[in-house]
């Protein structure tokens, strides 16, 4: 493990000097653009044409560029913080620009240059914020593209698949843009180490750590054991050091509840606050319900005509009802009849047991590729997710939400382990976090971890993000069958 790396940082894909160089160039660019706005386009009070020379501003731009770099550095903008939001970066940029521009303004007053405009510094500050924020956004897009292609990914091995281990796994699966790819986990509990979590393999006990690191080319090991296992943690730490592998340890305070810990900073001293965390309070449920009803009503002119065309297509296809109703399990285990457009032949449910036996599909989340029960029109409806349009009726009734966990059938619920039942704590949805991250390709255990992540981290902005991500997934027909 590299002792010089702070725990919240990790190596960057790009060279360390790249963004300081870009930021310096953008600072000069901001001065140039501000000059054009002030003197060429004459935005603001009129200025004399004699003041059109950019030369007097060059020394101030030469001071401003390193000031920007120093303040970015001081505010930690160049630290590669995992999970830092773009809005947080904008805040750091704004803070740095404000300090830098005040210093340049002070130089204006001290040196009293004859051919300069103080208003131009306002333009410089605004333009610096814009170009720096856009550059950070482009960096995020570039990193996401590279990580999608397997470049810059940290291969992670989790040690301990208890509650915290599963929470970490859920976060990594739900947020691939963080660049962590879980390759497997180790656990000394024989029951846990014998059962994989979806596509994340169980690789045995901690005694196999060294060979697993080598075989799986592990970049980062995360230990989630309690500190009561201090001696074992020390042994595992030495193994990671010998393998030159990055190591992270979850603090024991996080074992209380990973969502109940709030981190504050008191002039450099970290304070950990423990309190109740309720993503779905009564007020939040009302907000979510209001959003559902508003979107159903606003989009009525879009989905109503499409539903009519689908109904006509099913009517012309042949015998059978247009709508398919099936009992599903909703919030708090209450059952309801979910409505969809019919996409299968009649009697399809009676054939499912035999298909499960023949295919070996997970009965808790069965998905059959090239399902012979699907009709010709039904295949198109499933590929485009149009079969789910009548779910909006369930949304209007309050039985479903636009966003939430997939509603299971009663038979599937009987196969749940106790931890899986947390999915039933909230209203099920038409789309959800796991659908936009993989749709039908996601195994059941991974789907559950993503649902837990959604429940623990819910916000209106998260629902809007999921709805926006659903649109391209549907049009690209990604993972649907």
d(CA 412, CA 355): 15
Task: Classify the C-alpha dihedral 243-246-252-254 as positive or negative.
Answer: negative
Which pLDDT band holds residue 335 (cuts at 50, 70, 90)?
A: very high
Question: Given a cut of 80, is residue 255 above it in pLDDT?
Answer: no
Contact of 256 with 274, CB cutoff 8 Å: yes
The 3-state DSSP class for residue 117 equals coil
**pLDDT, position 408:** 92
**pLDDT at residue number 327:** 94
Are residues 6 and 78 in contact, defined by beta-carbon separation less than 8 angstroms?
Answer: no
Asked if residue 327 lies in contact with residue 310, where contact means CB atoms within 8 angstroms, the answer is: no
* Residue 68 and residue 23 in contact, taking contact as beta carbons nearer than 8 Å: yes
Left, alpha or beta for 353 (phi > 0: left; psi -120 to 50: alpha)?
alpha
pLDDT, tens only, 434-477:
888 765 567 888 888 888 888 888 888 889 888 988 887 777 66
Give per-residue pLDDT as tens, 31-48. 888 888 877 777 766 666
Which pLDDT belongs to residue 87?
84
pLDDT recorded at residue 479: 52
How much is the pLDDT for 2? 39
> Rounded CA gap, 156 and 224, in Å?
13
Q: Among residues 462, 470, 445, which one has the least CA distance to residue 182?
A: 445
Task: Provide the Cα torsion 107, 109, 110, 115; round to 10°.
Answer: 80
- What is the pTM (predicted TM-score) of this model? 0.62
- Region 353-361: what's the mean pLDDT? 72
Higher pLDDT, 481 or 33: 33
CA distance 344 to 351: 11
What is the token pair recorded at 381? 């409806």
Q: How far apart are CA 271 and CA 262, in angstroms?
A: 8
pLDDT, one tens digit per residue, over 271-281 is: 666 555 556 77
d(CA 51, CA 74): 35
Backbone angles phi, psi at 327, to 5 degrees: -75, 125
Interatomic CA distance for residues 328 and 413, integer angstroms: 10
Output the pLDDT for position 373: 84
**pLDDT value of residue 329:** 95
Catalogue all structural domains in the chain, each as residue range(s) with its CATH number: 18-148 (no CATH), 154-274 (3.40.50.720), 282-475 (no CATH)
Q: Could you give the CA distance from residue 261 to residue 254 in angstroms, rounded to a whole number?
A: 7
């Amino acid at each position: 493990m590299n002792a010089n790396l702070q725990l919240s940082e990790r190596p960057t894909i790009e060279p360390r000097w790249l963004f300081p160089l870009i930021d310096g160039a953008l600072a000069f660019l901001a001065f140039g653009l501000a000059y054009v706005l002030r003197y060429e386009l004459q935005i603001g009070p009129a200025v004399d044409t004699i003041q059109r020379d950019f030369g007097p501003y060059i020394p101030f731009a030469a001071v401003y560029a390193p000031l920007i770099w120093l303040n970015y550095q001081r505010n930690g903008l160049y630290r590669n913080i995992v999970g830092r939001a773009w809005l947080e970066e904008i805040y750091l940029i704004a803070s740095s620009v404000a300090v830098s521009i005040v210093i340049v303004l002070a130089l204006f007053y001290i040196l009293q240059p004859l051919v300069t405009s103080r208003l131009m510094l306002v333009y410089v500050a605004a333009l610096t914020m814009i170009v720096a924020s856009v550059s950070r956004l482009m960096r995020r897009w570039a990193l996401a593209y590279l990580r999608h292609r397997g470049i810059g990914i940290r291969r992670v091995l989790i040690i301990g698949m208890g509650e915290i281990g599963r929470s970490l796994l859920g976060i990594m699966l739900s947020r691939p843009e963080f660049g962590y790819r879980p390759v497997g986990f180790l656990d000394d509990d024989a029951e846990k180490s014998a059962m994989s979590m979806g596509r994340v393999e169980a690789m045995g006990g901690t005694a196999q750590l060294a060979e697993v690191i080598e075989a799986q080319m592990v970049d980062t090991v995360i230990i989630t054991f309690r500190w009561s296992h201090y001696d074992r943690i020390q042994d595992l730490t030495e193994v990671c050091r010998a393998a030159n592998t990055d190591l992270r340890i979850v603090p024991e305070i996080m074992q209380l509840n990973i969502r109940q810990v709030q981190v504050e900073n008191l002039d450099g001293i970290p304070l950990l606050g423990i309190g109740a965390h309720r993503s779905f309070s009564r007020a939040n449920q009302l907000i979510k319900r209001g959003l559902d009803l508003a979107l159903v009503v606003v989009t009525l002119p879009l989905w109503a005509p499409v539903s009519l065309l689908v109904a006509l297509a099913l009517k012309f296809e042949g015998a059978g009802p247009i709508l398919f109703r099936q009992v599903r399990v909703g919030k708090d285990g209450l059952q309801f009849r979910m409505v969809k457009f019919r996409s299968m032949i009649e009697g399809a449910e009676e054939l499912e047991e035999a298909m499960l036996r023949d295919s070996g599909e997970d009965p808790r989340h069965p998905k059959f590729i090239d399902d012979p029960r699907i009709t010709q029109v039904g295949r198109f409806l499933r590929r485009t997710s149009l079969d789910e349009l009548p779910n909006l009726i369930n949304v209007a009734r309050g039985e479903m939400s636009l966003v939430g966990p997939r509603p299971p059938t009663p038979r599937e619920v009987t196969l749940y382990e106790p931890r899986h039942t947390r999915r039933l704590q909230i209203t099920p949805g038409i789309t959800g976090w796991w659908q936009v991250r993989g749709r039908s390709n996601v195994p059941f255990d991974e789907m559950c971890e993503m649902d837990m992540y959604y429940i623990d981290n819910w916000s209106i902005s998260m629902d809007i993000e999921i709805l926006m991500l659903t649109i391209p997934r549907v049009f690209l027909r990604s993972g649907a069958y």
